Amino acid sequence: MPLNEAFGWSWILMGVVSGLALGLGFHQDAWLGGYASFRRRMLRLGHISFLGLGFLNILFALSAPHVHASPATLAIAAWALLLGGVTMPVCCALMAWRRGFYPLFGVPVVCLLVGSVLVVAGILRP
């Protein structure tokens, strides 16, 4: 799945860039409400989700040839992992802005769950 691999590396780059942006203010104790503030925690979660979900998409791209699943099932898994990767940092940023966006977290979680279940089922399938 070349798209997942390219997306994964792009998301790792986004993680490094967002880490740089967040790092510019980390030395200020009260930045974004302080270290334990909700806003700062959500932005840090968004930053690390870029990296983690980038790695997940690269692993999927490398694992896909070994998954015993139909092309349609692999395509669903690929798109679910891509959509989860895109929506997780977006949800984190929206939550940092307004807590009322909390219900949107279901979108990336369900996408990542669907993609992961399909991959695990295809790997365990004889």
Q: In whole angstroms, what is the distance from residue 81 CA to residue 11 CA?
A: 12
Running DSSP on this structure, what letter comes out for residue 25?
T
pLDDT of the chain, 126 residues: tens digit per residue: 899 999 999 999 999 999 998 888 777 777 776 777 899 899 999 999 999 999 999 999 999 999 999 999 999 999 999 999 999 999 999 999 999 999 999 999 999 999 999 999 999 987
Spatial contact of 32 and 40, defined as CB atoms under 8 Å apart: yes
- Structure pTM? 0.90
